[in-house]
Structure 1
């Protein structure tokens, strides 16, 4: 039976949900890794870069870390797939420029874009909540094989403006920022810990389980689940 949800807004995770984790790991991560050194040395005075570097130093307890040490830390965090905010910020800077140059084109599963367009046309608001930075999300949605999808999206949230993805308070913060009642928000993610946190904040949840994704075998706990977006019926009541 197709899950049916009467909600006002849908909040989307990216990796493993709208898009293949493999694309991020195999294409985007190496692209950023190869450009960290140039970014840290050539644009150290850029406010966004400088802020991220300061955050790296703070997180590592190394206030005097130079560009080489910061790059080593970033590489280590990449190897661990650590969701560190300064790493995501610097990746976002590099990816944004890569998308703008045409070096990169984002990936979406075939069922995603038609669903997003249909939901948007039906009056539902769409938001993104990803561990990737807002800058990276903006580049991701604006540089797709289907063209610029940003006009479909009402807001972008990451670990900096919302908080960690497995903490209920982050979801409360998003609900407050969007002005949507928690029970009228539907969160789609492949990660059970994120789904648990969203539900604890009063949101509706559906776990997305796509074969080949890292969390497929683990499952999504006791959350409703779907293998693709076209298996979810979302509507907005007008009453």
Structure 2
């Protein structure tokens, strides 16, 4: 039995759907969300980490991070909470490449375990998989990892940490469109497969020694 660990952006879903769709949804809502949840301990911790005395100061930093695609934990936390509310309200629907849902269901039915490791917070991962045009895919996923509970995606130690939960690294397979992430997983003893999606940012990036697929239908387990 293989444990298949999935990246999201560029792997299961288009990068544009996150960077354009979700970012555009969250951007104007950051300030109002901070004002409405200032008594929330997690929001207070975010503001303290930002070192911002006012909402305007906090939003300026957060928008700067969004513009630079900075994987900062305070930003990921707030975005995840805002997106979760958007999904719950029916204002957002997650994008998945059409080959992904049937593959996930087939792998799950065959007894393979599924997990997610994304730079997006776990708070945003769950509703992303739960609210799709293909139904609720979150029921197929057993474990969720992000840069907070696992660590940076380009460091082998993060994959070693995940293996402590999922089991023997030799049984773990990581699917990603980012070669540096695959390198880190391989250094931790995992199997890896690069995902080269047409039209995605890493379509022309060399994957080195990693096997490469263009759709999940091509994966042999």
Q: Under TM normalisation by the shorter chain, which class is it?
A: over 0.9
Deviation per residue, 1:26-77 (Å, 9 max, x gap):
110010001001011121111222222223x2xxxxx354221111111011
The secondary structure found in structure 1 opposite 2:142 is strand
Q: In the alignment, what sits opposite 2:173?
A: 186
Match of 1:216 among 195, 203, 206: 203
| Equivalent residue number for residue 87 of structure 2 | 99
Structure 1 spans left out of the alignment, 5+ residues: 1-6, 58-62, 235-239
Preserved CA contact (<8 Å) 1:77 1:84? yes
Aligned equivalents of 1:170, 1:53: Cα separation in 2:
26
Give per-residue Cα distances to partners, 1:82-121, cap 9 Å, x unaligned.
Answer: 1111111100000000000000000000100100000000
Which residue matches 1:32? 26
Give 1:31-110 correspondences, 5 Å limit.
Answer: 31-55=25-49, 57=50, 63-110=51-98
Pairwise CA RMSD of aligned residues? 1.0
Distance 1:73 1:207 in 2: 33
**Any conservation in 1 of the 2:52–2:58 contact (CA below 8 Å)?**
no
1:207 to 2:201 alignment: no
Q: Which structure is richer in relative contact order (CA contacts within 8 A, separation 6 or more)?
A: 1
* Alignment match, 2:15: 21
Q: Unaligned stretches of 5+ in structure 2?
A: none
Please say if 1:149 is aligned against 2:143. Answer: no
Between the aligned partners of 2:176 and 2:47, the Cα distance in structure 1 is 30
| TM norm structure 1 | 0.90
In 2, the alpha carbon distance for the partners of 1:64 and 1:126 equals 39
The alpha carbon displacement at 1:177 in A equals 1.5
Change (3 A) 1:90 1:232: same
Aligned 8 A contact 2:116 2:143 in 1: yes
Q: Assess if the C-alpha contact under 8 Å between 1:209 and 1:219 holds in 2.
A: no
Give, in whole Å, the separation in 2 of the partners of 1:54 and 1:221.
42
Q: Secondary structure at the match of 1:196?
A: helix
